[in-house]
């Protein structure tokens, strides 16, 4: 599978070679001619957009300063997710066009990689890392088939098939308790993908890597929420009936 993906990515790179010079000659001061995209970020972005048909866009990234040596590049000095959110372009610009993807990462080589969730794209359910690990063990023991899992040092995100906000609301309303530590990335949301730098330090990685050369199989949200709710009930942050 990796060999097939590698050949497809090489063909994409060959087709995009003529595009990149135009990108760095656009007159944009943020597009230095010496810029060279991070190969791992660019390859993953191209795979998402062209192989899996996931709409992606670059995150805002970080700028200098701040108590930890870096702050969000957006105007908010108290940004809750430094660097790991859309800004310019906005979320609606997310695309599967490999030419646009190459242009973005030529202009901003180290930009975080964001998936625009919902619609026809994957959604996700995330929870604290320790609770997620327990939930995954439980689901494996039950013989449940899981899809890709993106992990930061503090949270894991299980990718699921697209769902609507109405469907999610009905699902959660039927629960007696929904821990506030549980988060849902659905329509109109976004998810930080590997190998981006994670908000708060570290890097996003695949706990379970996507496999396949076409449309990826994803579990339905109902199939995983029960185990995630149970596993996250003891996590820090308490709980609420409707915390989504």
Per-residue pLDDT of 75-110, as tens digits, reads 998 888 888 999 999 999 999 999 999 999 999 988
List the domain boundaries for the chain: 2-111, 123-240
**Interval 43-83: pLDDT, tens:** 999 999 999 999 999 999 988 654 454 788 999 988 888 88
Q: How many residues does the chain have?
A: 244
- Phi then psi for residue 137, to 5 deg, are -60, -45
Quote the pLDDT of residue 162: 95
Alpha-carbon distances of 184 from 56, 118, 159, 228, 234, rounded to whole Å: 18, 11, 10, 11, 18
DSSP assignment string, 55-82: -EEE---EEE-STTSEEESSS-TT-SST
- Taking 70 as the pLDDT cut, the residues of the chain under it are 1-39, 64-69, 200, 212-214, 231-244
């Amino acid at each position: 599978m990796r060999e097939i993906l590698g050949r497809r990515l090489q063909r994409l790179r060959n087709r995009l070679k003529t595009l990149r010079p135009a990108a760095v000659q656009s007159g944009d001061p943020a597009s230095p001619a010496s810029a060279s995209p991070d190969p791992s970020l660019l390859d993953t972005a191209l795979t998402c957009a062209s192989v899996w048909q996931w709409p992606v866009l670059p995150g805002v990234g970080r700028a200098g300063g701040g108590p930890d040596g870096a702050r969000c590049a957006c105007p908010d000095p108290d940004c809750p997710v430094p660097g790991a959110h859309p800004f310019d372009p906005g979320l609606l610009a997310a695309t599967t066009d490999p030419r646009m993807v190459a242009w973005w990462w030529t202009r901003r080589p180290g930009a975080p990689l964001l998936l625009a969730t919902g619609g026809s794209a994957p959604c996700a359910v995330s929870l604290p890392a320790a609770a997620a690990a327990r939930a995954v063990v439980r689901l494996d023991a039950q013989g449940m088939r899981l899809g890709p899992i993106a992990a930061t040092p503090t949270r894991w995100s299980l990718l699921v098939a697209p769902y609507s906000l109405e469907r999610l609301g009905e699902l959660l309303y039927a629960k007696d308790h929904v821990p506030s530590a549980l988060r849902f990335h659905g329509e109109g949301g976004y998810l930080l993908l590997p190998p981006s730098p994670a908000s708060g330090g570290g890097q996003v990685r695949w706990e379970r890597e996507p496999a396949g050369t076409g449309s990826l199989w994803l579990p339905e949200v109902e199939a995983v929420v029960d185990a995630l709710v149970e596993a996250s009930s003891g996590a820090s942050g308490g709980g609420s009936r409707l915390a989504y």
